[in-house]
Amino acid sequence: MWQVHAGRASEQRQQRAPHPRDALQKLPAERSGATSCDRLRTPGEGVRIGEALALPVTGADLDAGLLSVSPAKSRCERILPLHPSTVEALAGYARLRDRKHPAARTFFVSIRGTALCYGPVLQAFRQACAGAGLDGPGARPRIHDLRHAFAVTTLLQWYRSGEDIAAQMPALSGYLGHVSPEGTYWYISAVPELMQLAAARLAREEDRDE
C-alpha cells in the first residue's frame, strides 16, 4: 500500500512541501547562459542540478530530443525525453556556446568556457525568482523545488486520470533516478493535495469492497 511506503519515506526526509507549482511557473521563460540549465528542470525533465551541471557536450541529443543523464544517486544511466520547448532553448544555447567556446567539454559552461559551477547558477536562479516576484516573505524557492514540481505534477495528473499509481510509480522513480520507488512515494505524503486525492481514492476502493 502506498500509505506504508509514504510513511517510511517521510520518516527519512525533511517534511518540507515543494514550492507551489503556480509560483514556479512565474519564472521567466528566457534564461541567461548560467540559468539555461534550469530549462532541464521544467515539467518533463526533472533532473538533479548536479546532473545538469555535469552533462557532457555529447549528453544532449537535440535532434532526437533525448538527454543522457549519468548516474548520480542511482546506478544506471537514464535516457530522458525532452519537451520541444526545452529542445528549442537548449539548441539555441548550444549554438551560442559552440561559437564562443568550441572546445567546451560540458554542455553548460561559464563565461570562460569552463564547467559551470553551482554558485553562479544559484545566483542566477535567485535573480530570476526576484524578477518573477517570488522573493517575498516566507520560504524562498530552491532550485530543487523545480524537480519536486515535476514529480508532483506527474502524480496529480495520474490521480486525476485514474491511473494505477502503484503500477506507475516504478516508472516515475526510474525517471527521477531514485534507487527505489519508496523514495518517490514521499511526494504523496509531502503535498496536501496529493494526500487528499489518495485518501479519496482509498475511500472509494473501500466502498466498492463492502
Strand ranges (DSSP E) for 47-167?
Answer: 60-61, 66-69, 78-81
* Catalytic residue of the set 13, 73, 95, 204: 73
For the question of residue 19 being annotated catalytic, the response is: no
For the question of residue 26 being annotated catalytic, the response is: no
* Enclosing H/E stretch for 43: none
* Catalytic residue of the set 95, 140, 144, 204: 144
Torsion of CA 120, 85, 144, 182, to 10 degrees: -150
* Catalytic residue of the set 19, 39, 41, 48: 48
* Catalytic residue of the set 159, 175, 185, 187: 187
For the question of residue 5 being annotated catalytic, the response is: no
For the question of residue 147 being annotated catalytic, the response is: yes
Strand ranges (DSSP E) for the chain?
Answer: 60-61, 66-69, 78-81
* Catalytic residue of the set 147, 148, 159, 185: 147
Question: What is the C-alpha separation between 81 and 74, in angstroms, rounded?
Answer: 18
For the question of residue 73 being annotated catalytic, the response is: yes
Task: Write out the catalytic residue numbers.
Answer: 48, 73, 144, 147, 178, 187
